[in-house]
Amino acid sequence: MKLVSQEQKIIDQFDVHKFLLFTIRELYAFVNMKDYKILDQRLQSVFPILNCTGNWGTHVNKAMDALVTMIFPNGEFNFDTLINQEVRENTLLSIQNLNDTYPNFLLLAYRIYQNYLQLLQEMKINYLGANGNAFIQKTDYIS
């Protein structure tokens, strides 16, 4: 008679779920890789326009997706970056709260609908849209 651990019994019982979790984990990694690829492409297109260089890395806070560093002749700025699919009415309050919490907040969104572009600017929320829309305001160096 083969002895089977309690953990092995649970794993065997939920074999199908184990496969689904693996698939979900793969999907999560793929989505994040896609987010970071868009972040990288968007920043590389913005740097020449802003006459700066920079880089990005993962953020230590789980509420943020990345830490973006922009290096200008006058100084270096770090932006706490959130990557969102789109800006909608139901996400606007959480975006505003993050903007209030992080003084150097930057929103990267795949889609920012026209009616939200002006609203984000009035709320003084820095954003980069995947389609090319951008608003970055930081002290006297960027506007």
Output the pTM of the full model: 0.69
pLDDT beyond 60 at 61: yes
pLDDT digits 0-9 by tens, 115-130? 899 999 999 999 988 7
| pLDDT at residue 3, as a whole number | 54
Give the span between the Cα atoms of 42 and 55, in whole angstroms. 11
Q: What are the residue boundaries of the structural domains of the chain, listed by start?
A: 6-135
* pLDDT tens sequence across 82-116: 988 888 888 899 999 999 999 899 998 888 888 89
Within the chain, where are the H helices? 6-13, 15-50, 89-101, 114-122
Among 27-31, 33-37, 69-73, the range scoring the smallest mean pLDDT is 27-31
Residue 87: CB atoms within 10 A of its CB come to: 23
Residue 66 burial class via C-beta count within 10 angstroms: exposed 0-12, middle 13-18, buried 19 and up: buried
**Does the structure show a pLDDT above 50 at 143?**
no
